[in-house]
Structure 1
């Protein structure tokens, strides 16, 4: 026993040190019978079953208070029978005396059955800075915004341990996530996730396969000899699309092909003769002639009937020829005649 003279009652620090020497600085270390949260009396707690916090009896809170263990209260859970351990926080102190209620994934991690003994010790963990996760199923990729979903799920966790596989629920679906790596590194291989800026990285989900890249049959290869003509692509004569549409027979440059189009192929008549030429002596009245059906175009752009999943990017581009350097561009001169006025200008002499 320590006497009253062992500390100064007026000095708070001296009183605290005396209390520590009196045994109040020991860690919380107790054994409880474990049960899943589904067996907790009262209303269902589906959210608590997909988190990292446990339910302890009220006597545990009283002892934690006397041991001066403050927030956040983190615990190391051990199954000494099979030498497994993990870490968890506490959600509420409403369990029956001698019992602890755990999320089902924690019981699986510790290899516990309902009614088994589990050792609970208070501990301290560093604030996490990095964590690497691996989804256990490819269905995790169906979540449109996994970052926001995980941020919401982490609210039910106080700490995470390397090697654990925790669960969370989203849209009535339960997802399993394995913890592959945590930083900073420490002997307990666990981190605290409360009030910290945590960077998250993902490994490919189990069962995920990279999609194979298949060359599409609709792609048009670039010509090896022509390159680009007039900044437009050149269709390769031996390409798969050219073969599919029989490009050699419908191309405008096919040998022996007639004119590309027969529309508007008639001759025009002028209403007034050109300047300097005599007026046409013949009658300008057109003579009715029997109309014949215009010949059908056998060349030029033809209607393409492509199968599903195929594209056609047009015919070969013929660049426009540019005028030679130094050639003067002839421009017609409009309104170049001299004008006349009915009034005489000022200063002109009057007629005598």
Structure 2
């Protein structure tokens, strides 16, 4: 009797493992993977029928995946982990239905695409959410706004997170969309694991969208290329054509105005400096009209202040009248003017005077003799 019951139970388990499941997506059931990524809605094909996907989970190799599930009270259901071949890998039975949670260890799971499925314990699936065991760390960079007639440039940088994946991956895809529409772009490899993609947003109406990037393998899962890594999501706004240029012209100062202002300020400062220099030179070089009658002191002062003496001499030698010259030309002409106008020790008058004194001395000597 006991052996018959055990055999029947084993048969049920085997049949539930290998029998294809059928889709019966119901609003009464919902499954959420902790810390999942809110992605643009998309429909995937499974062996249980088409399923609408609104989010995707992300996990690390040899980590864990935690799940929250909701179902009606009464009917029991199961929370299952299925792999890329849609085979059962783990199971948590919820007796009596209602809300439940479960955590599954991912030891000995390879990087790739898996799914959490809520089933009625046999072949019917009520809700599905995929999750990715990441073989790469994915970092994406893009602007948070793009004009409706422009293209969004996205940079995707990968780094190896597992030795069990092909590196580089078979492809990298970028997706931008919301609950009702989305656009995809295939990224182009640049160097190493660095990629760029250009997303044409012409088909998208102005509004807010979500952007994410994913690395792919050559295999197919749920009618799509298998994902082996996924980034976080980023919010991107599509705005009216020309609005970003208008904002830039309002926020940024006009370069011509700035240059003109700086040039005017520079010219004003230069003119002020020249006026100060002229005032200083005039004050320093102008002689004081005071004569105390002491020529010796005046001469000493002239020797100590060559710039003043030079200015006066240069003016007299040039035109015979007093004139005012610039400080530079005055200093340059000082030495030359002083040298040329200095009276020699023995001029014609001195020689004549010496001759008269000499003759007088000779006459006195003759008288005495």
* Superposition TM-score, scaled by structure 2 size: 0.26
Max Rg structure? 2
Which structure: greater strand fraction?
2
Q: Which of 1 and 2 has higher RCO (CA within 8 Å, sep 6+)?
A: 1
* Superposition TM-score, scaled by structure 1 size: 0.27
